[in-house]
């Protein structure tokens, strides 16, 4: 297992953080390739909960090496507070940040909020973390700031040029950068640059050297396939490539260097923000899943929309990502639901078909076709599962898993049944 990519197969929040943390017991180097503080990973170790937005998920493992790749967008304030916290909790951790990653500035957050407000009903439902505007500046190039600029003291001229343009853009929303206090903004950035400088390097060179030396690496994705800017349910997507292609561009490695690609999906479906969601449950079962699965955004606290497992999404994601294995999470959350449904295809007019489409005009027209399963009343304890493995799981949950595995024809190698890293079965 020299290198593994971990990718979300649904609309994000699949529990990738938990799976990365579990696998980080073997591979101590974890490199994140996309997104920013829009993501949130919750990792529970020995009943202590850690919520991280920027640092990769194996962060709490002893001697972990964490790499933040060039495909990420980094908010210095959040990054610095996470580094400080982690250094306290895990003094053995090593952190490396790409000099090519882009910097999320306060005006990106103002623009994110302003644009969403103006869109009214057509809004995307972003996390308001400035992600879209930062990637827009990356594509626009002349108004972008990279980590290199922050740590190499060439900030003043660049910032003056950028701010003139940004103030022009912000005047549309009746506001200004830093409320006009540019001195404060400049000082904050200089201080951030000084703090971050020891962590900054050419992470692509580093990752390639580690792979050459035969080290085990995990490439960690944020969000999920259906939030990918190219392959997701556009425009209700994030601004980066959350699919496996993002590993190569976001870390600076060849596709040939990825050995295994694990698709992570939940035993049901959730999404946050706007956009079509064919299996959404707006009833008490949806509420029950939300409360049982603690389905509230780690970043924004927003209640997640919940629904039955929409199975055709997974082969769609597998087509884009080429999953070599799957991990299912939150199986325990379905405990106590008398009849569990799984969407196995869609009715379009009079025609039944299996194919999922990310095209939202088509997606809104799809009516799910369900298969119903008998539920299970209780779930075994961790000790029982440790003793009996998969066989200790309730019979009906095994039927549910078997059906999913047969439908997908990709092996489910990891089953997660609770937030703690110990609540995991792997084969
Ligand atoms: P943005 O990434 O903040 O621009 O948000 C764009 C869309 O992606 C919105 O629907 C967000 O709710 C969604 N989104 C962004 N990050 C995550 C995540 O980590 N989990 C789930 N949804 C996310």
Asked if the peptide bond before residue 401 counts as cis, ω within 30 degrees of 0, the response is: no
If you search the block for the tokens 């556009």, which residue do you land on? 234
Q: How far is CA 269 from CA 10, 191, 333, 354, 375, in A?
A: 7, 42, 12, 17, 17
**pLDDT over 90 for what percent of the chain?**
81
Residue 34 contacts residue 221 (beta carbons within 8 Å)? yes
Confidence of residue 25 (pLDDT cuts 50, 70, 90): confident
Indicate the range of 170-174, 185-189, 218-222, 302-306 predicted with least confidence: 170-174
What confidence score (pLDDT) does residue 165 get?
87
388 has pLDDT over 90: yes
210-235 pLDDT, tens digit each: 999 999 999 999 999 999 999 999 99
Instruction: Please give the Cα distance from 276 to 232 (Å, whole number).
Output: 11
Q: Given ligand 1 and candidates 273, 300, 358, which is best to mutate, with the most ligand atoms within 8 Å of its CB?
A: 273
Which atom of ligand 1 is closest in space to residue 126's alpha carbon? 5
264-276 pLDDT, tens digit each: 999 999 999 999 9
Is-catalytic flag, 108? no
Closest residue by CA, ligand 1 atom 15: 38
Q: How far is CA 241 from CA 10, 229, 391, in A?
A: 14, 6, 38
Instruction: Please give the Cα distance from 128 to 68 (Å, whole number).
Output: 21
What confidence score (pLDDT) does residue 178 get?
64
What confidence score (pLDDT) does residue 351 get?
67
Is-catalytic flag, 13? yes
For residue 188, with 0-12 CB atoms within 10 Å meaning exposed, 13-18 middle and 19 or more buried, which class applies?
A: middle
The pTM for the full model equals 0.96
307-326 pLDDT, tens digit each: 999 999 999 999 999 999 99
Residues within 6 Å of ligand 1 by CB: 12-13, 38-40, 124-127, 129, 131-132, 222-223, 227, 236, 238-239, 272-273
What confidence score (pLDDT) does residue 171 get?
87
- CA neighbours closer than 13 Å in the CB half-sphere of residue 228: 25
Which are the contacts of 237, defined by CB distance < 8 A and separation ≥ 6? 124, 226, 227, 228, 229
346-358 pLDDT, tens digit each: 997 666 777 899 9
Q: How far is the CA of 273 from the centre of ligand 1 (A)?
A: 7
Please state the rounded mean pLDDT for residues 9-31. 92
């Amino acid at each position: 297992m020299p290198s593994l990519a971990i990718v979300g197969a649904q609309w994000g929040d699949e529990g990738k953080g938990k799976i990365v943390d579990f696998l980080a017991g073997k591979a101590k180097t974890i490199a994140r390739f996309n997104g920013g503080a829009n993501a949130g990973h919750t990792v529970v170790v020995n009943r202590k909960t850690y919520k991280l937005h920027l640092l990769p998920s194996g962060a709490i493992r002893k001697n972990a090496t964490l790499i933040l790749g060039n495909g990420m967008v980094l908010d210095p304030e959040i990054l610095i507070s996470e580094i400080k916290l982690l250094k306290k909790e895990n003094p053995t951790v090593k952190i490396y940040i790409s000099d090519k990653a882009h910097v999320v500035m306060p005006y990106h957050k103002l623009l994110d909020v302003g644009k969403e407000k103006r869109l009214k009903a057509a809004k995307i439902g972003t996390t308001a973390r400035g992600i879209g505007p930062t990637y827009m500046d990356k594509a626009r190039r002349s108004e972008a700031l990279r980590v290199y600029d922050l740590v190499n003291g060439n900030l003043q001229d660049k910032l003056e040029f950028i701010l003139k343009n940004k103030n022009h853009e912000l005047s549309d929303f009746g506001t200004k950068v830093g409320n006009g206090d540019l001195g404060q903004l400049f000082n904050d950035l200089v201080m951030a640059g000084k703090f971050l400088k020891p962590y900054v390097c050419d992470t692509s060179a580093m990752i390639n050297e580690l792979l050459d030396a035969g080290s085990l690496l995990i490439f960690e994705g944020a969000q999920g396939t259906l939030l990918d800017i190219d392959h997701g349910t556009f425009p209700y997507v994030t601004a980066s490539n959350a699919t496996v292609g993002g590993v190569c561009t976001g870390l600076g490695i060849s596709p040939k260097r990825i050995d295994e690609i694990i698709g992570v999906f939940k035993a049901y479906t959730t999404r946050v923000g706007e956009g079509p969601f064919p299996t959404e449950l707006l009833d008490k079962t949806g509420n029950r899943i939300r409360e049982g699965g603690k389905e509230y955004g780690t970043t924004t606290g927003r209640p997640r929309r919940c629904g039955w497992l929409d199975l055709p999404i997974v082969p769609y994601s597998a087509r884009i990502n080429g999953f070599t294995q799957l991990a299912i999470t939150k199986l325990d959350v379905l405990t106590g639901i008398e009849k569990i449904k799984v969407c196995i295809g869609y009715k379009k007019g009079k025609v039944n078909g299996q194919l999922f489409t990310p095209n939202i005009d088509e997606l809104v027209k799809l009516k799910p076709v369900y298969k119903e399963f008998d539920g299970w009343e209780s779930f075994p304890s961790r000790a029982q599962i440790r003793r009996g493995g998969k066989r200790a799981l309730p019979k009906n949950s095994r039927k549910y898993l078997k059906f999913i595995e047969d439908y997908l024809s990709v092996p489910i190698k990891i089953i997660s049944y609770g937030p703690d890293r110990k609540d995991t079965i792997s084969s």
